[in-house]
């Protein structure tokens, strides 16, 4: 009798196991990355914002130079060994369409810019990653044909610095988001053209599938001198929007394998407000007054 009961219990257990749905496999690192990028694309973006942009530099100096269209270019120079250069603060008016900003320093001097450095949104982060701090008008050295991708890769990977098809993506394990909450890291390595596909690390908040930090590489080589480093962007909640709260830039120069210069800077965004709109005229450089025409020469 006991033997029969044991057999019936075993059969019942097997039947239950057969009716239990199989546990779903954990998503691959690539699928996890794709889901996070899709989430970021769906998030609302502010059409306009007003905030304070602060550059806190160690060994690097940021300066503005005029462009022919009345806007300003951002230049980075070495400010000594590792001496602090202190804060540079600007009150920024941002019109998201076109990455257009007006930046006013402590002396009330106005700088008009289309650099994504002053656009702490997800589209601005992409422009920074893809084009650098000059924005959508790349420097002449980057105006070269993009390398042909290996056979089998989608063409879209050529034009997107975030495309999953452009990277080998590996699980980086547990990590922390910038606010200290649990995150999950992914490591990325370019499959081709590393000068365009520079993303190297992403941390994702698994509770929302939002990107909470991303890091991309900086590198350039000229003869025996190489420049390398990275930019890390840290995201967080700003009012109703998920935005870049600060970025860290680290740059080093090497020659013949020896480091000769090193510098870093943090760019932070604070006191953020979100007006419904900002007039285009406010972020557009004034048209320079035309030069007076020379008087016609008197007839002899």
In the DSSP assignment, the letter for residue 198 is -
- In this structure, is residue 253 part of a structural domain? yes
- In this structure, is residue 64 part of a structural domain? yes
Alpha helices in 229-294 (DSSP H): none
- In this structure, is residue 286 part of a structural domain? no
- In this structure, is residue 269 part of a structural domain? yes
For residue 211, what are the CA distances in angstroms to 10, 126, 176, 229, 239?
A: 48, 12, 12, 21, 17
Domain count, the chain: 1
**Domain extent for 271:** 27-143+155-279
Look at residue 86 in the predicted model and tell me its pLDDT.
Answer: 61
Look at residue 148 in the predicted model and tell me its pLDDT.
Answer: 41
- In this structure, is residue 293 part of a structural domain? no
3-state helix, strand, coil in the chain (%, to 5): 20, 45, 35
List the one residue out of 200, 199, 204 whose CA is nearest residue 177.
204
**Rounded to two decimals, what is the model's pTM?**
0.78
d(CA 184, CA 139): 34
Element (H, E) at 74: strand 72-78
- In this structure, is residue 135 part of a structural domain? yes
- In this structure, is residue 4 part of a structural domain? no
Residuewise pLDDT in 10s, the chain (300 residues) = 544 544 444 444 444 444 444 334 557 999 999 999 999 999 999 999 999 999 998 877 777 888 888 888 887 776 544 344 567 899 999 998 888 999 999 999 999 999 999 999 999 999 888 887 777 754 433 333 334 433 333 332 233 678 888 899 999 999 999 999 999 999 999 998 887 888 999 999 999 999 999 999 887 766 677 777 899 999 999 999 999 999 999 988 777 777 777 788 899 999 999 999 999 999 999 876 665 655 555 444
Instruction: Determine contact, residues 68/78, Cβ cutoff 8 Å.
Output: no
List the one residue out of 96, 95, 111 whose CA is nearest residue 278.
95
CATH number for 162: 2.50.20
Look at residue 63 in the predicted model and tell me its pLDDT.
Answer: 77
Residue 279 DSSP SS3: coil
Instruction: Determine contact, residues 64/73, Cβ cutoff 8 Å.
Output: yes
For residue 156, what are the CA distances in angstroms to 137, 153, 190?
A: 20, 8, 15
């Amino acid at each position: 009798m006991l033997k029969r009961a044991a057999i019936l219990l075993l059969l019942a257990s097997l039947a239950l196991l057969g009716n239990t749905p199989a546990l779903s496999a954990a998503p691959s690192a690539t699928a996890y990355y794709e889901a996070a990028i899709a989430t970021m694309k769906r998030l609302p973006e502010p059409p306009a914002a007003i905030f304070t942009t602060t550059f806190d530099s160690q060994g690097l100096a940021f300066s503005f130079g005029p462009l022919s269209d009345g806007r300003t270019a951002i230049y980075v120079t070495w400010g000594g060994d590792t001496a602090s250069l202190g804060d540079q603060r600007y009150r920024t008016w941002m019109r998201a369409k076109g990455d257009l900003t007006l930046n006013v320093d402590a002396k009330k001097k106005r700088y008009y810019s289309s650099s994504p450095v002053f656009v702490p949104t997800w589209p601005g982060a992409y422009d920074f990653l893809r084009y650098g701090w000059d924005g959508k008008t790349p420097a002449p050295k980057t105006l070269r044909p993009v390398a042909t991708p290996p056979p089998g890769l989608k063409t879209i990977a050529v034009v997107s610095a975030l495309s999953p098809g452009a990277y080998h993506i590996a699980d980086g394990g547990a990590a922390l988001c910038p606010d200290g909450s649990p995150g999950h890291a992914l490591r990325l390595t370019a499959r081709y053209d590393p000068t365009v596909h520079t993303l190297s690390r992403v941390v994702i908040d698994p509770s929302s599938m939002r990107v909470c930090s991303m890091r991309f590489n900086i590198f350039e080589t000229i003869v025996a001198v190489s420049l390398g480093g990275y930019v890390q962007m840290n995201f967080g909640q700003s009012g109703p929007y998920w935005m870049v709260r600060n970025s860290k830039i680290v740059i080093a120069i090497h020659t013949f394998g020896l480091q000769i210069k090193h510098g870093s800077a943090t760019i932070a965004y604070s006191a953020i407000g979100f007006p419904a709109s900002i007039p285009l005229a406010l972020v557009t450089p004034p048209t320079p007054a035309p030069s007076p025409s020379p008087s016609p020469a008197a007839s002899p």
